[in-house]
Amino acid sequence: MYFATPPLAITDLPTKHTYGVLTPRLIVIHATAGTDSREWLVENPEGLSIHRLIQKDGTIYKMADDLVSCGHVGRSALWGNRWLNKIALGIELENRNNGRDPYPTAQVEACAAQVVEWLGRFGPLPVVGHYQVDTLGKTDPKGFPWWTFWECVRKRTPQAG
């Protein structure tokens, strides 16, 4: 553990699709392109899965353990690695991903809190949008307020002292 964080209020909602061991080296933020993706993310026939789903009201759902691989990154590449699912923790933000659907403050703050928890547990990890590592033209999380998010992360991260 790198630093302690307050416990998060998280609701368990286990996915049916996990794929072995994960060695966290990266955090990928996604948008669902929907309005209530809970059931689909649990049951979907394509085998997609995610570690956390965050609703617009800030509710965080734990869909998979932090040390298991989920199928959320798809065709992607970073650092010469083309199978990012084995190294990437994932957060889905409930959002239509059209650039107009807002990401409410509660959702952005919950996302930042989850990221800070992972940084405390696993150490410094890059945080990217899916669009930054996807090789097929994904755009998520379109319209995400990155500056606000990073300010929330900064405020929640314990300062060295």
Cβ atoms of 15 and 49 within 8 Å: the answer is yes
Average pLDDT over residues 72-85: 90
Instruction: Quote the percentage of the chain above a pLDDT of 90.
Output: 92
DSSP state of 21: B
Confidence check: pLDDT of 161 > 60: no
Q: Which of these, 36, 63, 62, 61, lies nearest to 49 by C-alpha position? A: 63
Q: pLDDT for 87-99, tens place per residue?
A: 999 999 999 999 9
pLDDT at 106 over 80: yes
pLDDT in tens, 47-57: 999 999 999 99
pLDDT in the model for residue 82:
83
Closest-CA residue to 63 (of 20, 117, 28, 14)? 14
| Distance of alpha carbon 109 from alpha carbon 112, whole angstroms | 5
Task: Tell me if 50 sits within 8 A of 15, measured CB to CB.
Answer: yes
Q: What is the DSSP string of 44-93?
A: -TT----SEEE-TT--EEE-S-TTB--S-S-SB-BTTBS-GGGTEEEEEE
Omega within 30 of 0 (cis) for the link into 104 = no
